[in-house]
């Protein structure tokens, strides 16, 4: 009897690749050499950190600058870089270096990884992805290095510049400033520093809009055209950043624990930074736990929306959000079609957007309900943590350091599903769908 060989479909191959990376990272991080005190960490803690890095989330109950050795920090950084670009992108780079032909099956996996609708030009896109990422990270590292040479030795400034540029561009949110005993966490020390703020915000935005949009912007001077995808991503992202900055500014303007002591420029920079970072990056210049509840809940909404498709950010994605808003506007105006920039949105895109949003919403609600019974923490903080994990935003109100073992497992699963996307995971777990041979008669039910 001939044994049928298992050949994973593209979503399954993508999921298995991430699992392999996470397991490998967990083993490396659990080694004594990865800890600064050489005692090692438990496997569940190593698994949590490896998942957070590979899924470019940034949640951590460790002080990265103090608790991890140089080796451990480099392992985290490599996981962030590979996880942000995608393991198939790195594998394609290796294949191109060794002049190996990219098979059609591998192109299908790349198509799935990059959220493309076709395999046409996918290898060319991967080359652009690698080039753009390296150039953007190098420029970011250079500027940050120059800035930090004014307050630390040159060698450390270079290391900090490279580490944070990669972490920020890939929307991971890990930082090393915990090694300084006289500083607060994340980038709070630089809340009024225009250079650190603007460079960080620009890196986050470039990492969050996706390589397809970056490619479109770079070719715009020649073509004078942007694709519908790029127009939607750029317009919705700009709108969310502007609205987020205004809302956070108004809510926190008089909060003595966050923005009240800051100068007018500091208040503006702080509001803008939180608006940008909430959708995927995980860094912060304000104490998230001290924000007003209205601000925290608003940030939950931003984390749920997330970044753009084809980026390292999570959430339901800005294009999905745009389709949902478009559907609402079309319904209110009595229109049958959703029209954006003089283009009608296909019905299958609308169904996918609704499915993706509902699956994400139900998953977050279910996880929050479960953790509210196992974790001793206010519900808003639990909802914040769950949404942050699923949206790979990496922000926390303090729950991460208090998670039980069960809570860590739940957050690990959320980070993994959030990076892959629930629809991709559903395709991974289900068998190949069969074409329907008939359709049922149409029925009508009352709505509203």
Summarised one tens digit per residue, pLDDT across range 284-310 is 999 998 999 999 999 999 999 998 887
All residues at 6 or more sequence positions from 215 whose CB lies less than 8 Å from its CB, including other chains: 125, 128, 132
Stated as kind and residue range, the H or E segment containing 344 is strand 343-344
Q: How far is it, in rounded angstroms, from Cα 54 to Cα 422? A: 17
Cβ pair 283, 190 in contact under 8 A: no
Give the tokens for residue 303: 């984390």
Q: What is the full per-residue pLDDT of the chain (448 aa) written as tens digits?
A: 445 555 666 666 677 878 889 999 999 999 999 998 888 889 999 999 999 999 888 899 888 988 999 999 999 999 999 888 765 565 555 555 555 566 555 565 555 555 555 555 666 767 777 888 889 999 999 999 999 999 999 999 999 999 999 999 998 889 998 888 777 777 888 999 999 999 999 999 998 898 888 888 888 888 888 989 899 999 999 999 999 999 999 999 999 999 999 999 999 999 999 999 998 888 899 999 899 999 999 999 999 999 888 787 888 999 999 999 999 999 898 888 898 998 899 888 898 889 889 999 999 999 999 999 999 999 999 999 999 999 989 899 989 989 999 999 999 999 999 888 765 655 555 555 556 677 778 777 776 6
Query: What is the greatest pairwise CA distance in the chain?
Result: 77
Residue with tokens 């790195």: 90
Residue 72 neighbours by CB distance under 10 Å: 24
Residue 45 neighbours by CB distance under 10 Å: 18
Phi, psi of 340 (to 5 degrees): -130, 125
Give the tokens for residue 18: 């991430």
The DSSP string of 141-200 is HHHHHHHHTTTS-HHHHHHHHHHHHHHHHTT----SGGG-TTS-STTGGGTT-HHHHHHH
Residue 361 neighbours by CB distance under 10 Å: 13
Residue with tokens 């780079």: 93
Summarised one tens digit per residue, pLDDT across range 140-176 is 999 999 999 999 999 999 999 999 999 999 988 899 9
**Three-class DSSP category at 383:** helix
All residues at 6 or more sequence positions from 89 whose CB lies less than 8 Å from its CB, including other chains: 110, 113, 126, 129, 130
Cβ pair 278, 357 in contact under 8 A: no
φ/ψ region of 283 (left if φ > 0, alpha if ψ in -120 to 50, else beta) reads: beta
Do strands 343-344 and 339-340 pair parallel, antiparallel, or not at all (unpaired)? antiparallel
Beta strands in 60-138 (DSSP E): none
Give the tokens for residue 224: 């004078």
Any idea where the domains of the chain sit in the sequence? 10-425
**Three-class DSSP category at 104:** helix
Q: How far is it, in rounded angstroms, from Cα 167 to Cα 312? A: 11
**Three-class DSSP category at 312:** coil
Cβ pair 11, 428 in contact under 8 A: yes
Q: Angle, nearest 10°, between helix axes 10-29 and 422-429?
A: 110
Stated as kind and residue range, the H or E segment containing 339 is strand 339-340
Summarised one tens digit per residue, pLDDT across range 53-87 is 998 888 998 889 889 999 999 999 999 998 887 65
Q: How far is it, in rounded angstroms, from Cα 211 to Cα 311? A: 7
């Amino acid at each position: 009897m001939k044994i049928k060989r298992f050949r994973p479909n593209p979503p399954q191959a993508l999921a298995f690749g991430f699992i392999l990376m996470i397991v490998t990272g967990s083993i490396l991080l659990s080694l004594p050499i990865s800890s600064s005190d050489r005692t090692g960490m438990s496997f569940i803690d190593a698994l949590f950190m490896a998942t957070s890095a590979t899924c470019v989330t940034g949640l951590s109950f460790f002080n990265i600058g103090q608790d991890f050795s140089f080796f451990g920090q480099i392992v985290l950084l490599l996981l962030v870089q590979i996880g942000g670009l995608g393991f198939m992108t790195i594998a394609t780079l290796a294949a191109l270096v060794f002049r190996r032909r990219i098979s059609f099956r591998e192109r299908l996996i790349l198509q799935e990884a990059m959220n493309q609708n076709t395999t046409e030009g996918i290898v060319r896109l991967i080359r652009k992805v690698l080039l753009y990422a390296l150039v953007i990270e190098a420029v970011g590292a250079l500027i940050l290095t120059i800035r930090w040479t004014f307050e630390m030795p040159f060698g450390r400034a270079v290391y900090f510049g490279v580490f944070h540029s990669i972490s920020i561009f890939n929307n991971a949110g890990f930082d090393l400033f915990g090694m300084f005993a006289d500083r607060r966490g994340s980038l709070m020390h630089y809340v009024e520093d225009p250079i650190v703020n603007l460079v960080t915000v620009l890196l986050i935005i470039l990492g969050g809009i996706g390589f397809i949009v970056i490619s479109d912007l770079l070719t715009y001077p020649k073509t004078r055209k942007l694709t519908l995808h790029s127009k939607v991503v750029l317009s919705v992202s700009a709108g969310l950043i502007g609205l987020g900055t205004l809302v956070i500014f108004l809510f926190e303007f008089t909060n003595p624990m966050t923005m009240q002591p800051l100068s007018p420029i500091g208040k503006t920079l702080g509001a803008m930074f939180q608006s940008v970072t909430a959708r995927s990056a995980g860094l912060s210049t304000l104490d998230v736990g001290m924000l007003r509840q209205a601000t925290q809940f608003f940030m939950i909404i931003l984390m749920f929306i997330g970044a753009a498709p084809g980026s390292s950010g999570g959430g339901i994605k800005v294009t999905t959000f745009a389709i949902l808003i478009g559907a609402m506007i079309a319904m209110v105006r009595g229109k049958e079609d959703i029209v954006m920039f003089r283009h009608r949105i296909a019905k299958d895109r609308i169904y996918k957007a609704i499915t993706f949003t509902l699956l994400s919403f139900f998953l977050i609600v279910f996880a929050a309900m479960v953790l509210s019974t196992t974790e001793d923490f206010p519900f808003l903080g639990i909802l914040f943590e769950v949404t942050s994990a699923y949206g790979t935003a990496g922000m926390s109100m303090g729950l991460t350091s208090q998670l039980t073992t069960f809570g860590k497992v739940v957050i690990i699963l959320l980070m993994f599903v959030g990076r892959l996307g629930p629809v991709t995971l559903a395709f991974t777990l289900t068998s190949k769908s069969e074409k329907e041979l008939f359709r049922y008669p149409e029925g009508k039910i009352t709505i509203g």
